[in-house]
Amino acid sequence: MSRTPVFALTPGEPAGIGPDLCLLLACDAQPAALVAIASRTLLADRATQLGLQIELLDVPPGQWPSQPAAAGSLYVWDTPLAEPVVAGQLDVANAGYVLQTLTRAAEGCMTGDFAGMITAPVHKGVINQAGIAFSGHTEFLADLTQTPQVVMMLATEGLRVALVTTHLPLKDIAAAITEERLIRVTRILAHDLRSKFGIAQPRILVCGLNPHAGEGGHLGREEIEIIEPTLARLREEGIDLIGPLPADTLFTPKHLEHCDAVLAMYHDQGLPVLKYKGFGAAVNITLGLPIIRTSVDHGTALDLAGSGNVDSGSLKVALHTAYAMAASQQPAH
């Protein structure tokens, strides 16, 4: 009999709404065993602040649960804070704690202890203020797993958007759209749509970089010189690609109806559309990793931490997406 899959949950920035979301999640029974990698003290204090009766079940490393926790309880791998937390107030002293929770989760996934990891939001600014170079979960996990190229994809009902570039200043994006990068990102996207989502022959719509996809070279030549030749090469490998298409018309029902994902050239080209369509019910997925990682689609919301006025919808979508991805991989194992 195979062991029940166990998933890791990281609450992110301790002063934000991540701990609140984890506790709200524990109010309901989960279909899989879920271990929060967090400070037990933090979760207990926040539960008291929120007026929630949540039983925190200590789980030592290696003694993973054999079944999901009952409603009203949460498995916890205690990870101590550096300093006590006040909801809504950032403290650079706890930046290392945040990264330790992520490291424990990712390393557990790599050893096979966890079937996947689900992450609540971190605060990039306070981690950098602590003197730690940090540009986001995606890049941190790529470094930790020694993955040379990863792809950031957000998904909501009826739409998946992957990115060729992620957290770059707008002035640097055109230079970053190279044949090599476009090939690597597209291959990863196509591969993971097949292997982690069970889509036998994914169809991908590709955005142009410039307005009107360059207008035949009058509004930029990146489409002519880089994007179009690269897509042609990838089609020869059997990848089903449509484009490059103008982004302002690609995101319409006519085009989206028959595609499995959109490949956008940069962060604010594709994600505003997706978040408009499904904010609060979307999931952030890191493709290309040797592990499954999903996350919420929102930030730390410091002003709402400890208020009881938060929506756990995105975390629930992230959880169920991770569960589904892990299930789709089981036959391959």
Whole-angstrom distance, CA of residue 39 vs CA of residue 16: 14
Say whether 320 counts as a known binding-site residue: no
| Contact (Cβ atoms closer than 8 angstroms) between residue 76 and residue 8 | no
Say whether 275 counts as a known binding-site residue: yes
Whole-angstrom distance, CA of residue 53 vs CA of residue 47: 7
- Measured in degrees and rounded to the nearest 5, phi and psi for residue 331 equal -60, -35
Say whether 258 counts as a known binding-site residue: no
Say whether 254 counts as a known binding-site residue: no
Say whether 210 counts as a known binding-site residue: no
Closest listed residue to residue 32, CA positions, set 294, 286, 300: 294
Write the CB contacts of 322 (distance below 8 Å, at least 6 apart in sequence). 7, 115, 116, 117, 118, 292, 293, 294
| Contact (Cβ atoms closer than 8 angstroms) between residue 289 and residue 142 | yes
Say whether 191 counts as a known binding-site residue: no
Give 284's Cβ-side CA count (13 Å radius).
23
Residues placed in the known binding site: 137-138, 167, 212, 267, 275, 284, 293
Residues placed in the known binding site for substrate: 137-138, 275, 284, 293
Residues placed in the known binding site for a divalent metal cation: 167, 212, 267
